Structure 1
């Protein structure tokens, strides 16, 4: 799909510099002096990267938020003076990235590539573009041992994906002792149990009224407030919920309990990717190996992505040994940082937001970028297969 690149800044010298760079990259681009003209063209554009430069007439963050809300198939980059950069504002405004105007051109090009990946995912899941129903990517975070950081990873991965201007939801399927809402500093008045009793069994089955809205733009389906309610939620409920949510979001993250129960197995089977959390201790590795063997029996091994959490130097415990025990290679590593993580949990704010420059936050952001890239590449492969299907059918 052909993407458009629109540049908006009151200072023509900055717009011209960006245009020259895009011309070199053979990107179709256009400069705008007024946001009203930009909006007019965006109404007729499907898949656009907007680069907003310094502006004293309109607040760049407010413009970014406005454009991201009105034009969902748009990815916005902010290119601002160093003193005007506010990473939290940029995240809440829905910017894919915010960069120093005097920074390296290579960083701008890298951010443009990041924006293109976001646009590709959005366009692939938009029914008006594809002529099909929206189809979010589902990532289930699991482990067969408690205390390895599943919920922390789920919450921070959701926050990291949301920074890429994607519509993200988190479902807490640890139905007895789930803490997803707590880690977002939310006190749920309604949960998945309320949805089952009030809407699924006695209504139109709509989940939307039972979703918590976080300030970062992340939606949360909370676990029940009482453990005994978990018994009233079954696999049929979860299968319906996931299919309904896939039509409303770009990414759905599912946090699970440290056991393979009916509801979590349904989530695993419905997933595009299974994020299996491993850690540097033998009980976790033993349980991880059993989890992989179980998922293999269920035909789900190809979906597994091994994430080593709390990675640190430890005598006798190497990456090669872990991969040998699990029988799969490690796909990602999150460094150990107890102080940052526990502070994030106690304050109810994801560390990718609260402490974005720490190594642990950067590792989760890198994971999010890898997943976006992986899904984007997967869509391209599927499209190629569909194209070839008509002419490369096997002879019978």
Structure 2
């Protein structure tokens, strides 16, 4: 793991594991630590961050791309939308075909500008392995691979992690086990060895709170802040803050104030 974590990318080998829910809530939990946070919807074809936060952005990453030659660390914030929590959001393009226009150079340049204004950049990096997913993992200081205890999810996560090892990004990889406690053929204590995970964070299974949060666009760390689910996400956020070897000067001065066989 990097000494100074600023960019956190959540990825998954399979859809439907709660990655967007966790990205949204982690970003808000970090902001509640008195940090400036921007959340990027990196699921470039079918991003759901806006829905999960009840936002209707007028500008998206496509608009940012169209104006990239004129951008600096100040005016880039014009393309973000502020959530009631104080988290800023850069939305995915509104049409799936625009995804192919977003390349690694644009992603890197955008993040370099955002790093000047924000303490943390949280990226919902989509699921599976494609060029954009790899780009979002490459720029990250920390990669959180989201999985659940279900067999299909673990199978795909194992393949995802093998790819991350092949790309030599495993030193910044942690596993985020969502829905911990869900009935499964796989025992929870078997999962770290199965996935070659040196560090695993578990998030409890509370489907009622998670689904209500997503359906209403009301993040759980706000609407159900005392739930076991929210408490674990706050604990994860605190562990990320605590992992900082030496804190940077605050940016809040400006107004943005065991092997599986398949």
Normalising by structure 1, what TM-score? 0.59
Q: Secondary structure at the match of 2:197?
A: coil
Match of 2:158 in 1: 289
- Unmatched segments (≥5 aa) in structure 1: 1-123, 125-134, 381-396
Alignment of 1:100-111 (within 5 A): none
Tell me if the contact between 1:139 and 1:272 (Cα under 8 Å) persists in the aligned partners.
Answer: yes
Residue 204 (1) aligns with residue 204 (2): no
Match of 2:110 among 203, 216, 241: 241
CA distance in 1, matches of 2:71, 2:210: 40
CA distance in 2, matches of 1:302, 1:355: 33
Structure 1's consecutive aligned runs of 4 or more residues displaced over 6 angstroms after TM superposition are: none
1:225 is displaced (CA, Å) by: 1.0
Tell me if the contact between 1:351 and 1:361 (Cα under 8 Å) persists in the aligned partners.
Answer: yes
1:279 is displaced (CA, Å) by: 0.7
Match of 1:176 in 2: 45
CA distance in 2, matches of 1:247, 1:339: 38
CA distance in 2, matches of 1:174, 1:261: 11
Match of 1:253 in 2: 122
Per-residue deviation, residues 232-276 of structure 1 (Å, max 9, x unmatched): 111111011111111110010000111222222122111111011
Alignment of 1:100-249 (within 5 A): 137-197=6-66, 199-201=67-69, 203-204=70-71, 206-249=75-118
Greater CA radius of gyration, 1 or 2?
Answer: 1
**Number of residues paired by the alignment?**
243
CA distance in 2, matches of 1:272, 1:280: 26
Alignment of 1:60-139 (within 5 A): 137-139=6-8
Tell me if the contact between 1:289 and 1:326 (Cα under 8 Å) persists in the aligned partners.
Answer: yes
Match of 1:359 in 2: 228
Tell me if the contact between 2:36 and 2:118 (Cα under 8 Å) persists in the aligned partners.
Answer: yes
CA distance in 2, matches of 1:315, 1:214: 36
Match of 1:379 in 2: 246
Tell me if the contact between 1:155 and 1:170 (Cα under 8 Å) persists in the aligned partners.
Answer: yes
CA distance in 2, matches of 1:319, 1:210: 42
Per-residue deviation, residues 199-230 of structure 1 (Å, max 9, x unmatched): 115x3365221111112110000011111111
- Unmatched segments (≥5 aa) in structure 2: 248-262
Higher helix share: 1
Residues 1:208 and 1:327: Cα distance change in structure 2 (over 3 Å): same
CA distance in 1, matches of 2:235, 2:92: 28
1:330 is displaced (CA, Å) by: 4.7
CA distance in 1, matches of 2:229, 2:242: 20
Residues 1:315 and 1:194: Cα distance change in structure 2 (over 3 Å): closer
1:315 is displaced (CA, Å) by: 5.0
1:313 is displaced (CA, Å) by: 4.7
CA distance in 2, matches of 1:309, 1:337: 10
Per-residue deviation, residues 118-142 of structure 1 (Å, max 9, x unmatched): xxxxxx9xxxxxxxxxx87000000
Residues 1:313 and 1:190: Cα distance change in structure 2 (over 3 Å): closer
Q: Secondary structure at the match of 1:224?
A: coil
Greater relative contact order (CA < 8 Å, ≥ 6 in sequence): 2
